[in-house]
Structure 1
Amino acid sequence: MDFSWVNFINSLVLGLSIGSIWLIAALGLTIIYGTAGVINMAHGELIMLGAYSAYCLQAYFGVSFLLCIPLSFVIVAVIGLVIERVLIRYLYSRPLDTLLATWGVSLVLMQGVRMIFGSDPKYINMPAFLSSNIEMGVVSLSAFRLLIIAMTVALVVGFWWIFYRTNFGIKIRAVTQNKEMAASFGIDADRVYMYTFALGAGLAGLAGSLFAALSIVLPSMGSGYIVQSFLVVVTGGGSLIGSVAASALTGQIQSIFAYLFNDTFARFLLFVLIVIFLRFRPQGLFTSGAVRR
């Protein structure tokens, strides 16, 4: 193939948008795992619930797509809060049981949605201005992907501020480092875990509302997104900064390989590189200086 700098630059910008999408999907998983150490196998289905929340709000209540995004966050956050209170709160000290329980929750959610909505695909209607392309010099990018990049930056900055500049963030970091010591200072670890799980679930719902506009909405759509989410979290080392770096790096690598070869082969090469990387650095790109107790 003939090399073109214009197409190559466009692929780099596209890789940034791909990385942003992966980061939004992984952000909730990163927060839940980083705080409570829970490997949430139902994260993909929470993303799916966000997509169906946006679909229902738009199809049955006539809500605009831009308003569906924050409402999907709220709806799935409430669902996550219920799951945490009913099930997860009893399993924090049993990681294997938590993994199996969340996997069971994922099956229940998937089959429940299939029984209610059926297996036929659903579609989200985006505003016309988000369906257009924006020219920035030699770079051409869809307005919707620019929206995703902007939202990703806002979310990362917002959660950095929450974790490092608020009283709630201090409580989260204290519970993460030493739950018993935090309790001695009057911090309710159970409440911190509850709010954190709901927050992570809400982020999954927000991601689902965005994914609903990129592709069709199906009960099984979450299974594909959870693989990418875990790859970002594991490669990044389970921290917020690690997930940001891993999503940007993997997005760029896949975009460049897709430009040079094709998308299927690009995914294969990306997975091979991640396996090789984790073989020599299993702790990921960044490691936390604190030890969970």
Structure 2
Amino acid sequence: MTGHFLSANLIPIVNSLILGLSIASIWLIAALGLAIIYGTIGVINMAHGEFIMLGAYTSYALQSSVGLPFLLCIPASFVIVGLIGLLLERGLIRYLYKRPLDTLLATWGVSLVLTQVVRLVFGSDPKYIAVPEMFQSNVQIGFVNLSVLRIFIFALTIALVAATVFLFYRTRFGMQVRAVMQNKEMAASFGINADRVYMVTFAIGAGLAGLAGSLFGVLAIVLPTMGTAYVVQAFLVVVVGGGTIIGSVVASGLTGELQSIFAYATSDTFARFILYLLIVVFLRFRPAGLFAPAKARR
């Protein structure tokens, strides 16, 4: 009887912890592209939220006009938004790499332009991405009821992190990226084209944001301003993680679980307040984040 009572009391806590993992996976997907751009190039991309929004609208347009299945819309969003990011880097960002304040202001201006362009093309009314039937059911594991869509997003997050870590730590391109980060001039003396490394890295980061938007589009309504709701958490995850990929993984897990636990004990709004307050206090004593780069970028 006592064991049954304890089990019943643990059910909400376990559900809260699982919800925290779901929140963490969403935040991590939103932050992954930002962590790559900021951690590798050192650019604070204020248009990252709008890249997420473009990914959602890309999936909506492909699904509604072409009839492309949602599972194919996900990689398509990565490619299309990645190409948009590549054009932005070639046309604007590459001229501002040594001017961080100008880069911040420029990308903020780009975010305003992208929002208005989407509003003119698609209108301001909310759009909806159809959820595939296979994702509309739930899975019962013990006393825990899990959405198939949430399970898919969590599994895709793990796959994306693994692929990103492999790309940047186990491939020749990743070695070139790390060399440019440590010493751009020395890397150039070994024949590494830093300009090309920056271009590809920015395109990958933008593509990951577009992929994130494709996933977020099935979780909520699609609006021209939707990116703002995700970019704040993405920046917090990257800053707390120290601008590294591994740091962002740990930071998203901690912040997601903390928000879920605080929301269970209080309310969602108050939970966000407590979480943001804790992050401010943490950064006061450790401004470099959890996993700061070993050496400064040159």
TM range (shorter): over 0.9
Find the residue that maps to 2:45 and give its secondary structure: coil
Question: 1:215 maps to what in 2?
Answer: 220
**1:135 to partner: Cα distance:** 1.1
Question: Structure 1 vs Structure 2: percent identity of aligned residues?
Answer: 68
Say whether the 8 Å CA contact 1:14–1:141 is kept in structure 2: no
Match of 1:227 in 2: 232
User: Shift in Å at residue 199 of structure 1?
Assistant: 0.2
1:67-104: CA deviation from partner (whole Å, max 9, x where unpaired): 11111000100000000000001010111100000000
Residue 129 of structure 1 aligns with which residue? 134
Matched with 1:184 is 189
Match of 1:271 among 271, 276, 292: 276
Q: How does 1:87-102 map to 2 (within 5 A)?
A: 87-102=92-107
SS for the counterpart of 1:141 is strand
Count matched residues: 292
Residue of structure 1 equivalent to 2:12: 7
Q: Which residue of 2 aligns with 1:148?
A: 153
Q: Classify the secondary structure of the residue corresponding to 2:145.
A: strand
**Deviation string for 1:43-84 (max 9, x for gaps)?**
000000000000001000001111111110001000000000
Q: 1:69 aligns to what? A: 74
The Cα of 1:287 is off from its aligned counterpart by 1.2
Report SS of the residue matched to 2:125: coil
Matched, 1:45 2:47: no
Query: Residue 248 of structure 2 corresponds to which residue in structure 1?
Result: 243
Q: Which amino acid aligns with 1:18?
A: I
Distance 1:141 1:264 in 2: 24
Residue of structure 1 in register with 2:3 after alignment:
none
Confirm or deny that 1:105 pairs with 2:110: yes
- 1:202: how far off? 0.1
Counterpart Cα distance in 1 of 2:75 and 2:203: 14
**Structure 2 counterpart of 1:289, from 272, 287, 294:** 294
**Residue in structure 1 matching 2:32, options 4, 24, 27:** 27
Aligned pair 1:255/2:265, yes or no? no
**1:4 Cα shift?**
2.5
Question: 1:227-256: per-residue Cα shift (whole Å, max 9, x none)?
Answer: 010000001110011000000000000011
Structure 1: give runs of 5+ residues left out of the alignment. none
* Distance in 2 (alpha carbons) for counterparts of 1:29 and 1:4: 39
SS of alignment partner, residue 140 of structure 1: strand
SS in 1 for 2:288: coil
8 Å contact 1:19–1:247 — kept in the other structure?
Answer: yes
Detail structure 1 runs of 4+ shifted over 4 Å in the superposition: none
Q: Map of 1:191-206 to 2, 5 A cutoff?
A: 191-206=196-211
Counterpart of 1:54 in structure 2 is 59
Which of residues 83, 87, 91 in structure 2 aligns to 1:78?
83
Unaligned segments of structure 2, at least 5 residues: 1-5
Partner of 1:289: helix, strand, or coil? coil
Matching of residue 157 in structure 1 with residue 159 in structure 2: no
**Following TM superposition, by how much is the alpha carbon of 1:290 offset from its aligned partner in structure 2, in angstroms?**
2.3
**C-alpha distance in 2 between matches for 1:4 and 1:57:** 46
Please give the secondary structure, in 2, of the residue aligned with 1:285: coil
Contact 1:178 1:292 in 2 (8 A): yes
CA root-mean-square deviation: 1.0
TM-score under structure 1 normalisation? 0.98
1:17 aligns with 2:27: no
- So what's the TM-score if we normalise by structure 2? 0.96
* Counterpart residue type for residue 70 of structure 2: F
